[in-house]
Amino acid sequence: MGQSLQVALIKGDGIGVDVSEAALALLDAALQKTGQTRISYREIAAGAGYFSETGRDIETGGEQAAGQADAIFLGAIGLPTIRHADGTEISPHLRLRDIYQLYAGVRPVRAYPNAPQRLADPRARDIDLVILRESTEGLFYSAAVHGRSEVIDDQEVRDVLRITRSTTEKLHRFGFELARKRKQRGSPGKLTCVDKANVFVSMAFFRQIYDEIASDYPDITTDYNYVDAQALDLIRRPWEFDVLVTENMFGDILSDLAGGLVGGMGMAACAEIGDHTGLFQPAHGSAPDIMGADRANPLAAILSAALMLEYLAQKTDRPALLDAAGLIDAAVYQGFAQNRIRPLEFGGNMGTRAVTRELLTLL
Ligand code: ATP
């Protein structure tokens, strides 16, 4: 047994609780199978439910405790019926993103056999790409939570799209490293810069920094696309892309579109990585319409847990964690390929617990 790792665990609200428990079961099983490392969890109370009981959106010291762990795992936060006085939803996780500058939003989009494919073209079965969404600036620099919008009067409001050299250099470097890592596993090794450099100075700056960083990665194919053309190409030829790097708002929109190509929210895994820590969570919300009903598809959370193991493998130099991540990914792939995973979300007959049990068996 190696030294144990600590993960801050925020189960949150609604189906966040169910899918967190599913992810933990898979994490434990995969780690046991590969030996070596244990994970201990420091559970942190946060979310809309916690807010309605206590008036706080996260327990006292919760942000600091989250940052002290090796990584943060989050289920889902927010309930539409519980809001702040100004009408906004409870969202302490957005603060975590800001405090820890989790700039690299990693959203894998992969087609699984027997899972819904929304495109008739048979090549849709080869979709395997990652959207790398910058997650701390861009147009979200002015997100309401930060209070930075400029309200001139009741006739005009201005939001700022901010691109900084320091964050953009880190983002592009992250993108090239990710493309390189994927190339080692058989992907084409291509990083597409998605921008609107033909219209905005900020976007031309984004592309200029991409070009500067590209010179350090001659083994990676460079590629450019304007964001409007990229939306078209995600429908027309998504199987031709590997890693797409983009500004925050563009990434927000394109990742939902891309997620829809391979099923739905229940498949959308997400990692948000900064210089010191990473937050891993399914990209979906707390889905109050199906909470407490054993209906949630836990795969987005489970695949996010696998992303966390990959991150921890690199951060703490424990290659065995990569094996554990690979086991989880393989169980999901095999589960679909053998038609042993049939989530209710896709018209199947398996709820959260049944999918989790089957994956544990596969593993
Ligand atoms: P947020 O703004 O926090 O993302 P939201 O209300 O916009 O939340 P979700 O909570 O993700 O969005 O739910 C959107 C729809 O997708 C709902 O109908 C929900 O039932 C469905 N959904 C989301 N996640 C899952 C899941 N894991 N399994 C099955 N259905 C899901």
pLDDT in tens, the chain (363 residues): 457 899 999 999 999 999 999 999 999 999 999 987 789 999 999 999 999 999 999 999 999 999 999 999 999 999 999 998 888 889 999 899 999 999 999 999 999 999 988 999 999 999 999 999 999 999 999 876 778 889 998 999 999 999 999 999 999 999 999 999 999 999 999 999 999 999 999 999 999 999 999 999 999 999 999 999 999 999 999 999 999 999 999 999 999 999 999 988 899 999 999 999 999 999 999 999 999 999 999 999 999 999 999 999 999 999 999 999 999 999 999 999 999 999 999 999 999 999 999 999 999
DSSP 277: -
In whole angstroms, give the CA distance from residue 142 to residue 273.
Answer: 21
In order of 91, 107, 284, 314, 327, the CA distances from 297 in angstroms are 22, 17, 10, 28, 19
Question: Would you state the structure tokens that stand for residue 61, as one six-digit string?
Answer: 């010291």
Q: Are 359 and 341 in contact (CB under 8 A)?
A: yes
Cα–Cα distance measured from residue 286 to residue 10, given in angstroms and rounded to the nearest whole number: 13
Contact 323, 34 (CB under 8 A): yes
Q: How far apart are the first and last CA of the chain?
A: 20
Closest-CA residue, ligand 1 atom 3, reads: 285
pLDDT for 9 equals: 98
CA dist 269 and 284 (Å) reads: 8
Residue 284 C-alpha to ligand 1 middle, in angstroms? 5
Q: Whose CA is nearest to atom 4 of ligand 1?
A: 285
Alpha carbon of 291 to ligand 1 centroid (Å): 10
The dihedral region occupied by 186, where left means phi > 0, alpha psi between -120 and 50, and beta the remainder, is left
Record the tokens describing residue 122, joined without a space: 């048979």
Say what the pLDDT of residue 192 is. Answer: 98
CA of 68 to the centre of ligand 1 (A): 30
What are 179's two structure tokens? Answer: 């493309």
Q: Nearest residue CA, atom 13 of ligand 1? A: 287
Q: What pLDDT, on a 0 to 100 scale, did the predictor assign at position 2?
A: 57
Which residues 6+ apart lie within 8 Å of 341 measured at CB?
A: 299, 332, 335, 348, 350, 355, 358, 359
pLDDT, residue 75, reads: 98
The ligand 1 site (C-beta within 6 Å) comprises 15, 78, 265-266, 284-287, 289-290, 296-297, 300, 345
How many Å lie between the centroid of ligand 1 and the Cα of residue 78? 11
C-alpha 72 to ligand 1 mean position (Å): 21
Ligand 1 atom closest to the CA of 296, numbered from 1: 28
Q: Answer for the pair 248, 133: CB distance below 8 angstroms, yes or no.
A: yes
- Tokens, residue 128: 């395997």
Specify whether the CB–CB gap between 103 and 135 falls below 8 A: yes
Residue 69 Cα to ligand 1 midpoint, Å, equals 28
Q: Which pLDDT score, from 0 to 100, does residue 35 have?
A: 85
Pocket perturbation via mutation, ligand 1, pick of 93, 284, 302 by most ligand atoms within 8 A of CB? 284
Which pLDDT score, from 0 to 100, does residue 149 have? 85
CB 158 within 8 A of CB 165: no
Let me know the angle formed at the C-alpha of 118 by 123 and 282, rounded to the nearest 5 degrees. 105
Q: Helix, strand, coil: what percent of the chain each, to 5?
A: 45, 20, 35
What is the pLDDT at residue 1? 47
Q: Cα(273)–Cα(64) distance, rounded to whole angstroms?
A: 17
Atom of ligand 1 nearest to the CA of 80: 6
Q: How far is the CA of 38 from the centre of ligand 1 (A)?
A: 31
H or E stretch covering 294: none
- Which of 13, 83, 265 gets mutated to test ligand 1 (max ligand atoms within 8 A of its CB)? 265
- State residue 217's pLDDT score: 98
* Cβ-count burial 300-330 (b if 16+ within 10 Å, e if not): bbbbbbbbbbbbbbebeebeebbbbbbbbbe
Over the stretch 250-309, which tens digit does the pLDDT of each residue have?
999 999 999 999 988 899 999 999 999 999 999 999 999 999 999 999 999 999 999 999
Residue 91 parent element (H or E): none
d(CA 346, CA 344): 5
Of 52, 101, 99, 100, the closest CA to residue 77 belongs to: 52
For residue 37, the model assigns a pLDDT of 78
What domains are there in the chain, each with its CATH number? 1-93+277-363 (3.40.718.10), 117-261 (3.40.718.10)
Question: In this structure, are strands 156-158 and 150-153 parallel, antiparallel, or unpaired?
Answer: antiparallel
Ligand 1 centroid to residue 199 C-alpha, Å: 34
